[in-house]
Chain A
Amino acid sequence: MTKHVQDDKPPMTKEARAWMEEEAVAQEARYKDIVEEIDGIEEQRAEWIEEFLSLIQTRGFHVTGDMTRKVAKEEIPEKPNRPDAMRVIW
């Protein structure tokens, strides 16, 4: 197996270990804030979805590049009946 520089990495320093632990906690909090923020605009997001589904039937859906096609009403997906249907942060 070819060896790489990364394989020669010295053990993590105690300063770096402390830094990572501190920042992992901060990131967890950041993630929760983001989920809360996005959940908080669910009504607005539902409107954006409605607008999008309308536009792709009238102006068209971008298939690739500038190529568009109008999506027929019967092709429009229905919102699934599951609790995470509006989830966008994973």
Chain B
Amino acid sequence: MARPHIEPFVELTEGYKAFKIPGFIGADYKVLSLDTDNGACSLKVRMRGGFKRPPGLSYSDLEIFVLTGTMKVGDQNCQEGHYIFLPAGVALEAIDVPSGCELIMMYNDSEPSFEESDSNHDLALKEGFVSVNSYEDMPWAGGSIVSPSVATGLFLKLLRFDPLTEAMTFLYSMSPQYLQDNISYHDCAEESYHIWGASHMMQFGELPTGGYFWRPPYINHGSFRSKLGCIALGRTDSKLHNYFHFNPWSNPDENKSRAAAMLYRQRPQLYKWVHMEDGHNHPHGQVGQLEAPKPPADFEHPGYKDHPQTKMLADQTYTFHELDHLHKDEIAAAHKFAHENGIAHGHDHESGDHTHDDDEY
């Protein structure tokens, strides 16, 4: 299996273990979560005073957040709040930790690895490199960058955004007396480490300083509270959409079906296109459409498929796709027609270098 649901886990009560993997000797770690298939993991790491490492790279995307102390990277002092996104294959300058530091390290693709190198791998996506002090170099933004939105009082600093998957890493903060009375779930896996302070969720109770979770997709969480506020490092593995509801007993399958129902209602043409199961994802027929697929179940709105607006959208037909391309039988017919009528058609009859297979036009 990939990473299991780890929530809540308070690492402060756990002891550090000494690393035995080359490149990490002299550092200690606690595993927060581990993908047992590929070794991708999130760790709390303590680099003891005097830790040094030459320049080098790993074969996994790596995220580093400095919790305490200072880690010197090349000439730069990375202090509390410093965040680094190191794409796989990008060489990080030499590390020097004179007095010790504690980090969160997230290896997103595979197990922790280190290869000494002072140059990037040829295929490294070096433009993805991020290095920023999240405490000092950027302001807090409202949480409404994601919609449907969290309630006012939750603030964000977006540290990294992947344009392909919309995965993101961010700091978030709940103000004292924060509350949000709904239950949420997402299509993405989500993880969080509480740097300071506590928050409360109805399913899992209080998550204090040092609290962590790795939550797979479609799992209910919330309502939300924070009595005195908190600050945390958060990460998603793909796009975060807030599916809010108030059914405390729905399970991940029901939540997923409800999410699909929302896609059916809100983006019906895309839903139909994706839903075709014969490996041929586009509509055909006189009106350019297949019949609408069966609407997924939605525990919140069980009768939604009969709603006039939903019905209209689901029944909507478009003909723009009809002449996009020719199919095999259509190609053969077009070819025959071209021959019979002396129309030039994509190959030179003088050269004799062609066949008249059905699928050649």
Contact = CB atoms under 8 A, between A and B. Distances in A.
A3 interface: yes
Instruction: Kindly name the residue among A53, A59, A80 whose own CB sees the greatest number of chain B CB atoms within 10 A.
Output: A80
Interface stretch (B33-41, B46-54, B133-141): B33-41
A45 to B, nearest CB: 7
Interface residues on A, range: 35 or more
Given A15-B22, A16-B111, A88-B220, A27 B148 contact: no
Interface string B93-135: 0000000000000000111110100000101110000000000
Contacts of B247: 77
A16 B20 CA distance: 8
Interface string A22-53: 01101100110010001001001100110011
Nearest to A38: B204
A87 interface: yes
Given A16-B39, A20-B111, A65-B151, A89 B7 contact: yes
Contact of A84 (B88, B216, B251): B251
B170 to A, nearest CB: 18
Contacts of B148: 63-65
B219 A88 contact: yes
Given A6-B60, A52-B223, A55-B181, A19 B20 contact: yes
Contact of B246 (A24, A53, A66, A80): A53
A26 B34 CA distance: 10
B318 interface: no
A49 B202 contact: yes
Contacts of A15: 20-22
Interface in B1-31: 4-9, 20-22, 31
B248 interface: yes
Contacts of B249: 77, 79-80, 85-86
Nearest to B60: A6
Given A10-B59, A49-B202, A56-B181, A4 B20 contact: no
Interface of B: 4-9, 20-22, 31, 33-34, 36, 39, 41, 59-60, 87-89, 109-113, 115, 121, 123-125, 144, 147-152, 180-182, 202-205, 216, 219-220, 223, 242, 244, 246-249, 251-252, 299
Q: Closest 10 interchain pairs by CB?
A: A5-B89, A64-B148, A9-B59, A88-B203, A5-B88, A65-B149, A62-B182, A24-B36, A77-B247, A48-B202
Interface of A: 3-10, 12-13, 15-16, 18-20, 23-24, 26-27, 30-31, 34, 38, 41, 44-45, 48-49, 52-53, 55-56, 59-66, 68, 71, 76-77, 79-80, 84-90
23 contacts: A4-B88, A4-B125, A6-B60, A6-B88, A8-B59, A8-B89, A9-B59, A9-B113, A10-B59, A10-B115, A13-B21, A24-B36, A34-B6, A34-B9, A60-B181, A61-B181, A61-B182, A63-B182, A64-B148, A77-B248, A77-B249, A79-B249, A90-B252
